[in-house]
């Protein structure tokens, strides 16, 4: 069994750090003391979420995601929830007919439970809605601040716990304690995993959902960037998918870049500044959200079901999608070319608490720290057969010299960090010249682009695509080259934090080296807004390139 390890920095004396900050930075110390881990909200105080479409008929959607309160909350322990058998999750597109029949039976029984039963698909879906769409407020803080588990370091561990209990419930319903979820291996570009698994397309079964995008049904390859134009050849989509995997997983080598940044009690997505903006990770912002977008049905308001956090978990494919997200967390930790990588070790991350229902309909309190070793929970993944293809992908450069002289001659503006600019409206595309750090990059640092203060009303799906060295990049610019940095996909939301204000970061050093412009003082950064209608207004506060710890 693999055990999470700590970095050398974790062994530094807390007392010595505290003494140093108290002596020299009392104001900063006060801020650190005030920070605290997220706690379970008051479940008796639930609010109805709503959302209005920014385009089309003026329709407002309401989501009552309030959860049933059943008995006292029990604390999770590994002894109490000791797995009877290993849960070995396998690719959905390789499942046997026998296992598919078992899978369908499990969801059939889950759908048949009364809507008031915490184990029912109705309540299971509401768990996601309530904690991802502001159904509950943060506990123990001043003000009405929604509890949100997306766009921060909570995204991966919260969803791991969600799948863990969901899997146990399904197994209990069919009397199989070793029942395992299947994962949709959408990163597989060789053996057919990049299509919606056929088992989910069978009409009149418990796995079918009529609210899915018609255009991406099998044998269509599902793109991994929501900016991918329609009607591209399969070979182009495959190469773009490989590059999206490489940029989102391989080059995002730190916990902050991959998992997301800090979210502490009292921090508010709807009322943040550029300095304290939360930060979603590359796996969530890009790959994960692209799948939600492409499966969601554009014939419905706000891309229901999968394309909207309020309804996504109503579709059984959601759980296979997130099983692959969870698997890729394991791949990122243990199977990268640069060796083992590390999760966050901040106490406010480790001690955060959430609540779920187990197979006996008990409410269970869990901690993030107990979710960091999936195998300790009894969950294992059958290795993806084509992982090495995207792990070792080498994106080709489409340019071979700096685009800065051409951009300067054309009047492309210089843009600095947030305090040097006003609000910048992106429109459909925007290019800027950005200065790189003047000092030489230390060997143990990464060069990172920070798109500061991204703001948009989350009333429809929007994708913000970033490129380097391609002035005037547009919606049709390919994402299969070294110039492509990544995509920030913004899924519609129905909560009070629908006015999103976040920072978006990409490791950029690998891209510059592949293009051959890693010695330049300045680079051209281009941002493209696509997806949804053209009415979405997206703004930023600045662009900054800096060095960050690996």
Active site residue ranges = 128, 150, 159, 288, 292, 309, 322
| Residue 233 C-beta-side C-alpha neighbours within 13 Å | 4
Could you give the C-alpha distances from 98 to 103, 178, 182, 320, 550, in angstroms and in order? Answer: 9, 15, 13, 18, 46
What would the two tokens of residue 492 be?
């519609």
* 111-119: long-range contacts, CB 8 A cutoff, minimum separation 24: 111/206, 116/68, 117/68, 117/361, 118/67, 118/68, 118/70, 118/357, 118/361, 118/363, 119/169, 119/172, 119/173, 119/357, 119/359, 119/361
Whether omega before 350 lies within 30 degrees of 0, making that bond cis, reads: no
Check if the beta carbon of residue 171 is closer than 8 Å to that of residue 189. no
Burial class of 343 by CB neighbour count within 10 A (0 to 12, 13 to 18, 19+): buried
Check if the beta carbon of residue 381 is closer than 8 Å to that of residue 183. yes
Whole-number Å distance between alpha carbons of 332 and 334: 6
Whole-number Å distance between alpha carbons of 505 and 252: 9
The phi, psi pair for 23, rounded to 5°, reads -70, -45
| Tally of CB atoms within 10 A around 24 | 9
Whole-number Å distance between alpha carbons of 306 and 293: 7
H helix intervals, 266-409: 282, 289-295, 317-334, 347-350, 387-391, 404-409
Look at residues 128, 138, 117, 134 and name the one whose alpha carbon lies nearest to residue 162. Answer: 128
Beta bridge partners of 445: 549
Residue whose structure tokens are 């662009």: 543
Collapse the DSSP code of 35 into the 3-class scheme (helix H, G, I; strand E, B; otherwise coil) and give the result: coil
H helix intervals, 410-547: 509-515
Whole-number Å distance between alpha carbons of 66 and 535: 32
What would the two tokens of residue 365 be?
């309190």
| Tally of CB atoms within 10 A around 484 | 27
| Tally of CB atoms within 10 A around 48 | 12
Whole-number Å distance between alpha carbons of 222 and 244: 12
Check if the beta carbon of residue 182 is closer than 8 Å to that of residue 90. yes
């Amino acid at each position: 069994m693999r055990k999470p390890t700590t970095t050398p920095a974790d062994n530094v004396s807390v007392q010595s750090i505290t003494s140093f900050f108290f002596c020299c930075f009392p104001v900063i110390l006060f801020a650190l003391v005030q920070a605290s881990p997220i706690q379970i909200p008051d479940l008796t105080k639930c609010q109805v979420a709503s959302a209005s479409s920014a385009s089309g008929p003026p329709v407002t959607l309401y989501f009552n995601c309030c959860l049933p309160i059943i008995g006292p909350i029990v604390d999770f322990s590994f002894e109490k929830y000791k797995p009877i058998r290993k849960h070995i999750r396998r690719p959905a597109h390789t499942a046997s007919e026998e296992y598919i029949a078992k899978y369908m039976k499990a969801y059939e029984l889950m759908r048949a439970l009364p809507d008031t039963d915490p184990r029912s698909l109705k309540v299971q879906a509401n768990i996601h809605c309530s904690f991802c769409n502001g159904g509950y407020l943060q506990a123990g803080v001043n003000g009405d601040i929604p509890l949100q588990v997306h766009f921060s370091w909570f995204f991966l561990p919260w969803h791991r716990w969600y799948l863990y209990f969901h899997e146990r419930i399904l197994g209990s319903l069919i009397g199989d304690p070793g029942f395992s979820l299947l994962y949709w291996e959408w990163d597989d570009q060789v053996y057919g995993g990049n299509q919606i698994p056929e088992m989910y397309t069978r009409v009149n079964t418990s796995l079918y959902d009529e609210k899915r995008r018609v255009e991406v049904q099998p044998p269509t390859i599902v793109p991994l960037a929501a900016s991918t134009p329609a009607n591209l050849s399969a070979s182009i989509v495959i190469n773009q998918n490989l590059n999206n995997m490489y940029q989102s997983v391989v080059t995002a080598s730190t916990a902050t870049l991959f998992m997301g940044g800090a979210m502490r009690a009292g921090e508010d997505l709807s009322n943040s500044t550029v300095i304290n903006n939360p930060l979603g990770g590359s796996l969530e912002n890009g790959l994960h959200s692209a799948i939600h977008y492409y499966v969601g049905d554009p014939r419905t308001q706000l891309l229901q079901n999968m394309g909207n956090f309020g309804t996504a978990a109503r579709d059984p494919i959601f759980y296979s999608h997130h099983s692959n997200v969870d698997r890729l967390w394991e791949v990122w930790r243990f199977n990268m070319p640069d060796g083992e990588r590390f999760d966050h070790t901040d106490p406010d991350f480790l001690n955060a608490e959430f609540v779920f229902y187990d197979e006996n309909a008990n409410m269970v309190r869990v901690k993030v720290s107990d979710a960091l070793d999936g195998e300790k929970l009894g969950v294992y993944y059958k290795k993806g057969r084509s992982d090495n293809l995207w792990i070792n992908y080498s994106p080709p450069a489409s340019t071979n010299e700096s685009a800065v002289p051409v951009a300067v001659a054309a009047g492309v503006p210089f843009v600095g960090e947030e305090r040097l600019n006003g609000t910048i409206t992106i429109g459909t595309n925007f290019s800027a010249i950005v200065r790189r750090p003047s000092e030489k990059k230390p060997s143990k640092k990464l060069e990172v682009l920070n798109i500061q203060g991204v703001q948009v009303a989350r009333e429809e799906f929007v994708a913000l695509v970033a490129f380097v060295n391609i002035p005037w990049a547009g919606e049709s610019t390919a994402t299969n080259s070294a110039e492509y940095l990544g995509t920030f996909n913004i899924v519609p939301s129905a909560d009070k934090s629908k006015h999103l204000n976040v920072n978006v970061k990409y490791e950029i050093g690998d891209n510059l080296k592949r293009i051959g412009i890693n010695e330049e003082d300045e680079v051209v950064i281009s941002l493209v807004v696509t997806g949804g209608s053209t009415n979405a207004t997206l703004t930023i506060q600045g662009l900054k390139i800096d060095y960050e710890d690996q």
